[in-house]
Every structure is written in C-alpha cells, then in structure tokens.
Amino acid sequence: MTAATSNRRLKITLIGAGSTVFTRNLLGDILAYPELAGAEIALHDIDAHRLALSEQVAHRIADALGAQPRITASIDRRAALADANFVINTIQVGGYKPATVTDFDIPKKYGLEQTIGDTLGIGGIMRGLRTVPVMLDMLRDMEEVCASGAIHLNYVNPMAMITWALNASSTRIPTIGLCHSVQHTAGELARDLQIPVEEIQYHCAGINHMSFYLRFEHEGRDLYPRLREIHRDGAMPDWNRVRYEMLHQLGYFPTESSEHFSEYVPWFIKQGREDLLKKFNIPLDEYPGRCQVFEHAWPYIERELQTPGSQDPAALLAQLRAADIHVMPRSIEDAPHMLEGLRQVVRSVEYGSSIIHSVVTGKPCVINGNVLNHQLIDNLPQGCAVEVPCVVDHNGVQPTRVGELPVQLAALMRTNVNVQELVVAAVLKQNREHVYHAAMLDPHTAATLDLSQIRAMVDELLTAHRPFLPDFLHG
C-alpha cells in the first residue's frame, strides 16, 4: 500500500471536489505541510459550478498558507487522474435528490424508519449498489492513467462495503477507507470527561462505524470507570444516549454517533415503540433533515467562501430555526459554527493529509484506517473490511494486528459484516438475488418487516434507482 514518488511534482487529485467545504478542509490540511505545499492539486467534479467555486477556494487557501501549488480543475475525470500519486474520493452517487430521498421515502411506506441510511440498513445497501460500480469504473481509469504506486483514499460511505468491494476486485490500486468517527468520538468523550483530548490515549478497532475503544486512558489511568459513572448518573448528553447504553450493555464504547448506531442494531427503532425513540432521543429522518439544513445554509456558505467575513452567522441561525426542518437541534446549531469556521484555515482531524505526508516524507504517523482483514482481527471473517490502527511511512499504509476482539463485540459486528458481504457479492458476482439476501439479514430491516415486505420494498427501490444502477440490477 505505497505510492511511488520521484523528482516529478507530486500530484494529488480530489474526486468529488464540488463538496466545497470538505475540499477546503482537506486542502488546508495538505497545503499546511511544507513538503506538500508545492504539489499539483487536481480538482474534479461533474458539477461545473461547484467545481469552479472549489477552484477559487483552493487558490485562496494556498494564498492564506503561503503555499505555491499548481491548481487545476477539470470535469474530465481521466484528465484529473492522469499521473496522480494520491486520489482522494468524496463523491455521492445520485445525490440527496433524488437518490437519498428515495432511500428514505420508499422504506417508510413499508413502516421502515431510518436515521442516516448511509452505512447499513436498506439505505446503506442501496447507496452501496449505486456507488461501488461507479468506483470500480474509476479504479479502471486510475490503473490506466495514474502514476505507478498510486493510492486511493476513500471518504465515501458505505465505507466498509466500498473498501471491501474495491480491494476484493482485480484492481492493482489499493483503497484505504478513511473516516473521522474515531477522532470525533474521542473528542466528544474528552468533553464529557473534561479532559483535553490530546492527553487521552486509546486503542480502537472493529469495523467502520462500529469500532470500539478497547482501551481509553488518561496518563495511564483507565477512563472506563468514569464513563460508566456518567451513564449511571444519566449525565451523558441527550443526543448520545444510545452509545452510553451500548457501553452499559457491552462494556465498551462505540465510535459512531448515537443516531447512526441506532439503525445498525434491532433494539432501538421499532414499529409502535415511540417510548424507545423518546427514551434514547433517536431522531428519525435525521440525514434528510441535515440535507435540508445544508440547502438553506448553502447560499450563506457560498457567499462566505467567495468573500470571507461577509455573512452573518446569527442571520443564518435565525433562518434555520424559522424553517420547518425536523432535525436534531445541534444539526441546526452546527451550521453557523461552520460558517464562522470558514473564516480561518485550521487543521482538521481528517487523516488524508497525514497519510500523504508520511508516505512522501517517511515521517511516521498512526491512523485508524479501513483495510481488508488479513490476519488482523481473528474473530471477524478473513477478507472483510476492518478498521484498525495503521502505521504510515515510506512503506505506505501498514495495518497492525489486533488479535481477538471481546467476543460480544465481534458477534455484534458480524451481524453487520453479513450484510456488507452480500452487497459486495451482489456487485462483484452480478447477482441480484443477493440484494434481497442482504436486506433479509439486515438487523434493523429484519426486526421490522416480514419477508414478503422486504422483497416488495427491494423491488420498488431497484426500480426507482434504475438510472443509477448497473444493468444486472434492472430485473
């Protein structure tokens, strides 16, 4: 898992660069490294307007950091990929409208409610079916035009399905799946414990969005007793009740947010159980709500990106509060904070730039990456996608062996791995029946619908998503 470097200018390509805020953050991280400040930055998106905005923002970030990269932008994917050493991927196939709206609206007709729908569940299954074929085609382009030893850094969900499918295909391009749930959760727990996050040491492993902190310490002292005390006293944030309950039930704290986690298991979102939604403060339709927040906020964000300091965060907050958007309060409150954050270039917690820097310079770093399970976690299936600590240096991204996970954690993860495996098999073996099998074995779907409902729902979803799906799924 290495990227060859030479005297030729380093080239970093961002696919899906029209995700302008995320692109801005990634470029701020990359160009802050002196060793990367002169790289070629190639931006690609299918939306010409958003691509032009990202190009403008890229130049502004470079100027703010005193960097002198070569910045290019192209709607031609192969041109953007040509001679790239690193490819960072942030695409969303089908977008919020119509694809994500469809992922929520059709299951809801059958009584199946979701929160985020991008990782597991029927929403994650459909997103995987839309995305993996596009990514496989992209990897074929990379094989033909990228530099020797190029590395694909994937930020796209469903992370485990994509990482598994791409690395299990015949491509020579390695894919490293990157997420920020491990770092973000560490920061959230640090705030709960009132300890600076930089003083906390942890060891975390599992599968994406269902990793657990096997060790969580401060100055050599185990912090789990204090976390259990927070649960016992009911002192956790209202939005984080699901994960503290999982700590209580399983003995370890999971990495993905409570709203995410609630739909990976069969216990929290059940027909006719409003009491559970209230007890654990679970926000249904949270992701569509966040998309609506972003739609309302985008004019402010675009103007702020074009003219830093020009927008009033308070005015944005007032507009969002007045809008009829059903979403967690913090999802609304985060939008003005993001607006304020666009006024300065600060390092994010994303791993992408650290990986590139370590491969190029040989200066090691440790990240939590998504890779295939080749003798890394003993009690998860070999060859599935796992999220483990990885050492990165001139030799590339090197996963570290974890051994056995606590048996209850591995057993829970396997219920999710089953679904991931079937989606991967559906695409790589071009077997439509495996889509039904994946939905049948999904923990949340199976806890809500019977077999005839599942088949009818899948049929309706495959028909609705026909423009985004390969021919073998058309039926």
Confidence band of 368 (pLDDT split at 50, 70, 90)? very high
Contact status, residue 271 vs residue 312, Cβ threshold 8 Å: no
154 occurs within a structural domain? no
pLDDT at 475: 72
Q: Which of 54, 103, 165 is nearest to 464 (CA)?
A: 103
Burial 156-190 (b: 16+ CB within 10 A, else e): bbbbbbbbbbbbbbebebbbbbbbebbbebbbbbb
Alpha helices in 257-362 (DSSP H): 258-261, 274-279, 286-306, 313-322, 329-341, 352-361
317 occurs within a structural domain? yes
Percentage of the chain lying above the pLDDT 70 cut: 99
Domain extent, residue 297, equals 287-341
Tell me the average pLDDT across 461-468.
98
424 occurs within a structural domain? no
pLDDT at 321 over 90: yes
For residue 134, what are its two tokens?
């596009």
- Annotation marks residue 296 as catalytic: no
pLDDT at 6 over 60: no
pLDDT at 7: 62
pLDDT at 133 over 80: yes
- Number of domains present in the structure of the chain: 1
Tell me the average pLDDT across 248-258.
98
Average pLDDT of the chain? Answer: 96
Q: pLDDT, tens digit, for every residue of 165-208? A: 999 998 999 999 999 999 999 999 999 999 999 999 999 999 99
Q: Which of 420, 131, 148, 120 is nearest to 264 (CA)?
A: 120
pLDDT at 2 over 70: no
323 occurs within a structural domain? yes
For residue 198, what are its two tokens?
């930089």
pLDDT at 422: 98
333 occurs within a structural domain? yes
395 occurs within a structural domain? no
Is 209 annotated to bind a ligand? Reply is: yes
DSSP 88: E
Q: pLDDT, tens digit, for every residue of 390-445? A: 999 999 999 999 999 999 999 999 999 999 999 999 999 999 999 999 999 999 99
pLDDT at 291 over 90: yes
Contact status, residue 241 vs residue 280, Cβ threshold 8 Å: yes
Confidence band of 18 (pLDDT split at 50, 70, 90)? very high
Place of tokens 């020009």: 310
225 occurs within a structural domain? no
pLDDT at 159 over 70: yes
Is 204 annotated to bind a ligand? Reply is: no
> Which residues are within 8 A (CB) of 4 and not within 5 positions of it... i.e. 6 or more apart?
85, 147, 148, 149, 150
Distance separating alpha carbons of residues 27 and 32, to the nearest angstrom: 8
pLDDT at 106 over 70: yes
Confidence band of 8 (pLDDT split at 50, 70, 90)? confident
332 occurs within a structural domain? yes
Q: pLDDT, tens digit, for every residue of 69-94? A: 999 999 999 999 999 999 999 999 99
The active-site residue, picked from 49, 59, 152, 180, is 180
pLDDT at 1: 47
Is 281 annotated to bind a ligand? Reply is: no
